[in-house]
Amino acid sequence: MASTTPTGIRNIGLVCVPTLDQDKAIAFYESLGFEKRRDTPFGGGYRWIEVYPPEGTAGIALAPPPPGSDVAPVETGITLYTGDIDATHAALAERGVDVDAEVARMGSPVPPMFWLRDPTGHSLMVVEQP
């Protein structure tokens, strides 16, 4: 396939999120409806784990931090889309996911949105995209 950019970059494949407890993170993302598509051991007892939304081609790598490193919660910049923000917010809150208390509604052209936090405290945004 021919590249459409001068660098050959065609798409975003993964966003790497440092994760201390990978099993807890897998359970969390599966509770959001994500699929674990890769869980591969590699040197030193590490695992390379990738989770994807069911219709997604870009995923999240739940990667261990470098040895001796701490993991501080960050705003990941990851944005998840839903067709019904209120139903998604209610479903996640009901499952015990750490979500904002309310859906933010700023008016057009900004879509309704809220933030959620994973078990490490990393935040992701959920945005309504009909």
pLDDT digits (tens, 9 = 90+) for 79-94: 999 999 999 999 999 9
CA R_g for the chain = 16
Could you tell me if residue 3 is inside a domain? no
Over 60: is that where the pLDDT of 29 sits? yes
d(CA 10, CA 17): 21
Could you tell me if residue 49 is inside a domain? yes
- Could you tell me the maximum CA-CA distance found in the chain, to the nearest angstrom? 50
Could you tell me if residue 60 is inside a domain? yes
Could you tell me if residue 2 is inside a domain? no
What range does the domain containing 49 cover?
Answer: 14-128
Would you state the pLDDT for residue 10? 86
Q: Which long-range contacts (CB under 8 A, 24 or more apart) does 52-56 make?
A: 53/80
Name the pTM for this structure: 0.87
Q: How many domains does the chain divide into?
A: 1
Could you tell me if residue 4 is inside a domain? no
CATH number of the domain to which 96 belongs: 3.10.180.10
d(CA 28, CA 34): 9
Could you tell me if residue 5 is inside a domain? no
Could you tell me if residue 105 is inside a domain? yes
Could you tell me if residue 46 is inside a domain? yes
pLDDT digits (tens, 9 = 90+) for 66-82: 888 888 999 999 999 99
